[in-house]
Structure 1
Amino acid sequence: MISRQTAARSASSISNLDNSIVQRSNFSYDGESKKVTVELSYQLPPSVTELTIGSVPEEFERVSVDTKNLQQEDKYTHVWSGGSPPKITIDISYKSDNLSDGFFGYASKKSALVSTIGTDPSWRYSTESPDFVRESEVNGEGYAGTETVYLGPHDRELRNIEGKQLALIVPEEVTKPIDGTDILDVLQLGLNNLKPRFERRKYTAFVFSSVRQGNYTRGRAIATDILLSEEVAQAGKYTPPHEFAHTIYGVFDGEKMYWLKEGIAQYIGHLLNLNAGLITFEQFISNIRTERYKNVNLSNYSSSESGAADYRKGAHVLAALDAEIRIRSGSQNTLIDVMGVEDADLSTYEGFESAVTRLSGDSEITNWLDKYIRSSGLPEIPSEPQYYTLDSSSEDDFRTPTPTSTPTQSPTENRMQTETPQQTPSEPATVENLGTPSSNTPSDIEATIQELIRDGSEVLNRVIKLIGQ
């Protein structure tokens, strides 16, 4: 019999390690040569008669591999067929000192941030099919997440929440002050209230220095790890909970459901901030509401065309849907419950519709979904706070607005202040944000360019061309 591994699980989520193939990865780092050494060792149950390991992806260029008790099948594949458990030692030299080249990692003289080694294992067994478990550790200074490993001096903050571990890793070279308490508080709120679609026990937020960013994104989720630039980690509110929501819900295959992937992360991010007391209810509503993409048909919009529509209209529709589910189910269920239905196929509209119908208890809600997801309608978002509380919180946990005096302002200053809450870090900036050239004052353009600089040179070049027209 043969079984092929499709999704590795952490050891803490497996109750019976006696019938598990355990892959242990030990990472060490030599800053002078910028070389990462990974030692892979295996614990095999008696039922396993053959193990095939794909040791190194083709994307790694400078690499050497040393094996024990393994036969080489081709350039990247080795096979164990009996005897002592196999071992593999892999030396990888990283040529880049930043993350611009895609996430295979960077290496400098003092530190490295690298991805774990995907071995794509398969095995033959004689009786009961075993589980496959991955464990990673660091030899020396560093920290190993699920898919990401940091090697070097750093500060860390760890929390254990009902058997789950939450960690924040801040490298020594990060210069901006990071409020780890605020970040971990909102992520812990998510762990306590969201319903993961997969059993996970370890969640890690890695902050990377601006000198390591290059053209890399400011925030990204990889399995149960999130990567945050020091700028968005310092800002704290928006990107961390957005990316954390991705670790809870995963990725919904299929471009037609891209709006659900990004829309739910956008909505949940703001919802966590609201219930953590980081924003007021008025700010929450302002951040969620949008009119810009009201004519977009979410179910027919591809991710390559949508810009911010999947984020902004997706979040708007899902916020209204959350209230609808609460109302129609008599406050028995919420959108969070829908997202946690294990047997729901959320990679299709039909699967999502089925889960919403089941938990709302009202078959007529399909008409609501068709109107606002499969057409260009835009629902009203109820303004009653009770529709946006989490199980562990109440309206009393929402932040109270601070009374302030309002000085006399010019129309331009007033407009910029009013629009600021709408521009969350998770919303990609576009030329559309500028309005028409005739409506832009010099101060408008300067402020917008400063915002766009943080979103990449490609968009900035488009803006410069527009201004020159």
Structure 2
Amino acid sequence: MVGSTRPVVLALAVVLVASALAPAPASGADPIVQETTAELDGEAVRTTLAYDVPDAVSELTVRVRALGDGATLVETRGFDRTATTEFEWRGAADPRVVVRIPTDDRAVVTGDGWAVAARPASGVSYSYRGSDPGFETRYGVAGEGYAADPLAYLGPHRTAAVTAADERTTLVVATPPDPDVGPAKSFLRVAPGRFDFGVRRDGTTAFVIPTRESERRRQLAGVTSATSFWVSSDAVAMETTGTAFSHEYVHTRLGAVGEGSAAWLTEGSADYFGRTFALNAGAGEYGQFRERLAASQYDPDRTAVTLADRSTWRGTLANYRKGAHVLAALDAEIRSRTDGEHTLADVFAARAGDPFESHADFRATVVSVTGADLGPWLDRYAAGDDLPPLPENPSAFVYGGDLDPDGDGTGSAAEVRGGSHPFVAGSQTTTPTPAPTATPTATRRRLRRRRRHRRPHRRRRPATRPGSALSRQPRRSSSASRSSSRAAGADGAERRGCRSARTGRRLLLSEPVADTLGLAALGALVVPAVFRRRSLGELRVAPSADEYVAPLRTDRLLRGHTRRMEQTWLQDTESVRRSVSARCPESRGWSSARGRAPRPPRSR
């Protein structure tokens, strides 16, 4: 009804992960347009948000969330600032808000005469008369540059385009350094239909920026925002399977694919599929691929991480490294249990970019898509801290069976059928990948539990004979009996009734040996405690064991203790020898080599 006023709230999604689509304007109505323009301003980016407000709009409130994240306000026109991030329109024409956003190595990255910047997160709410006018956003640059909402590159550049399966990808390459983008273009040509999970885009933009080091001393890799992403110039060479180019490409297909207890899937899937797709496209070497895919540092005996519990891996790279490791093993499990009918990519393709809300949601989807009972497997390795074994057979990593990553003239699928290695020319493979049933980690845990609860073995002690010189009689030695039998003869009757006594198996230690055993016992307690020290879920490098053991080698107290033990053993041994000689004068005496006395034969 004409004259009525209805409030409408429209929230724009934060860039860097995904962008929500604004409602389309009603037919014949002029929309509210936000024109965002970026320009280089030293080591920051100056961003202007200008608004075209139609006559049907009576009230407009703008929120610029970047002002709460380090950005500074430069000027406003036609707005009153009502809060740190909020501005109310006064009804003036050509209203705008100008902010200056410093570099943060993600939303804004700057260099010598260039910058790449994401459109700042913002939102509007408005009141209107009549039909809803809707809201539109546009992104551009002032001066030399290239914008593909929500990312823009500011500085000299050139462009290149690749079209495959009706999908166009534009590469915006910084000049300098103007790297060779041939390997990246080759990847983009084979990706549609093989590496895209069935998700197609109208267009994708890849910004190739100069390689630099951030203020935190880590090399910048890449960032994806909706269908645009940027990577460093060395990533387009595709020299290794861990290239950021294929990693960010996966993000353009899946986006933020995990939430809640499944949040690890967002980076874990990009890391695993990014490496696997690059390998199938001919990048890197298979041996290096397996080595980098293995996440042995997250073995629970070293650093325990539960992927479904974000608090155990926050601040680490476990969602990348262990996430990729677990997904690689899951992919092999799916192939094995479905006889190659399904792969892990089918699970993600079934959601078509719809994120998994929890571990239970992901678990249910895996079981539903594959038809295999993989719920307990996922509970153990994704909801538990165990680390599964990686598949040994390279056929578990094949995507795009018509591709020839090793360049031997035969496609991967044909090589797998013929028993050849799909990624190493001239190499043979073994039997198909078996379904893993146990892990070395689980075996070690069971053995530790058995040792922990097992009672120490106790030898049975014979009853002592009244009047004996010894207080106990250890068990009979078969070798001693054989020696006594050989010594028996005509004088056997005289020995009848003479029962020799033996000490137990006493070990006579010299001082160096005693010191060594003492150090070993202390080391068994000290060294493991040193190396099991943890911080933020990562294993810290502990000092050398020599720093802990060396001082003990000169500990006089320890040396004196071992010397007193040795003297006690020698005294006990000498007393036994005298007792045996006195009671059995015809015996052959004490066997010092074996630490026991020969026993005369029993009377028959």
RMSD in angstroms over aligned alpha carbons? 4.4
Cα 1:71–1:307 shift into 2, 3 Å: closer
Cα 1:339–1:433 shift into 2, 3 Å: farther
Cα 1:246–1:343 shift into 2, 3 Å: closer
Instruction: Describe how 1:148-167 pairs up with structure 2 within 5 A.
Output: 148-161=151-164, 164-167=167-170
AA matched with 1:138: V
AA matched with 1:320: A
Instruction: Describe how 1:14-413 pairs up with structure 2 within 5 A.
Output: 21=31, 23-27=33-37, 29=39, 36=46, 38=48, 40-42=50-52, 50-55=59-64, 57-58=66-67, 59-67=70-78, 73-74=82-83, 76-79=85-88, 87-93=94-100, 99=103, 101-103=104-106, 105=108, 110-124=113-127, 132-161=135-164, 164-174=167-177, 178-187=179-188, 189-190=190-191, 192-194=193-195, 201-210=202-211, 213-215=214-216, 217-224=219-226, 225-234=228-237, 237=240, 238=242, 239-251=244-256, 256-295=261-300, 296=304, 297-300=306-309, 302=311, 304=313, 307-329=316-338, 331-340=340-349, 341-342=351-352, 345-362=355-372, 364-390=373-399, 392-394=400-402, 396-398=404-406, 400-401=423-424
2:299 aligned counterpart, secondary structure:
coil
Give the deviation of 1:3 after TM superposition: 3.7
Cα 1:161–1:231 shift into 2, 3 Å: closer
Give the deviation of 1:267 after TM superposition: 0.5
2:179 aligned counterpart, secondary structure:
coil
Distance 1:283 1:15 in 2: 52
Give the deviation of 1:318 after TM superposition: 0.7
2:308 aligned counterpart, secondary structure:
helix
Cα 1:336–1:37 shift into 2, 3 Å: same
AA matched with 1:157: A
Distance 1:45 1:198 in 2: 40
Contact 2:184-2:237 within 8 A present in 1 as well: no
Give the deviation of 1:56 after TM superposition: 6.4
Distance 1:34 1:63 in 2: 13
Give the deviation of 1:31 after TM superposition: 6.0
Mark the runs of 5 or more structure 1 residues left unpaired by the alignment: 405-429, 440-469
Give the deviation of 1:342 after TM superposition: 4.6
Give the deviation of 1:149 after TM superposition: 1.6
Distance 1:28 1:263 in 2: 33
Distance 1:203 1:228 in 2: 14
Cα 1:281–1:230 shift into 2, 3 Å: closer
Distance 1:106 1:164 in 2: 28
AA matched with 1:310: N
AA matched with 1:261: T
Answer with 1 or 2: which has the greater Rg. Answer: 2
List per-residue Cα deviations over 1:143-174 (Å, max 9, x = no partner): 11333221111122233455654233332243
Distance 1:352 1:129 in 2: 38
2:122 aligned counterpart, secondary structure:
coil
Contact 1:187-1:244 within 8 A present in 2 as well: no
Distance 2:192 2:53 in 1: 31
Distance 2:131 2:200 in 1: 22
AA matched with 1:180: V
TM-score by length of 2: 0.55
1:355 aligned counterpart, secondary structure:
helix
Mark the runs of 5 or more structure 2 residues left unpaired by the alignment: 1-5, 14-18, 408-422, 428-536, 547-604
Which residue number in structure 1 is paired with residue 601 of structure 2?
A: none
AA matched with 1:186: F
Residue identity (%): 23
Distance 2:26 2:163 in 1: 22
1:143 aligned counterpart, secondary structure:
strand
Q: Which structure's residues are more often strand, by fraction? A: 1
Give the deviation of 1:142 after TM superposition: 0.6
Give the deviation of 1:188 after TM superposition: 5.4
Give the deviation of 1:290 after TM superposition: 3.9
Which residue number in structure 2 is paired with residue 466 of structure 1?
A: none
Cα 1:299–1:111 shift into 2, 3 Å: closer
2:48 aligned counterpart, secondary structure:
strand
AA matched with 1:53: V
Contact 2:158-2:173 within 8 A present in 1 as well: yes
Give the deviation of 1:266 after TM superposition: 1.2
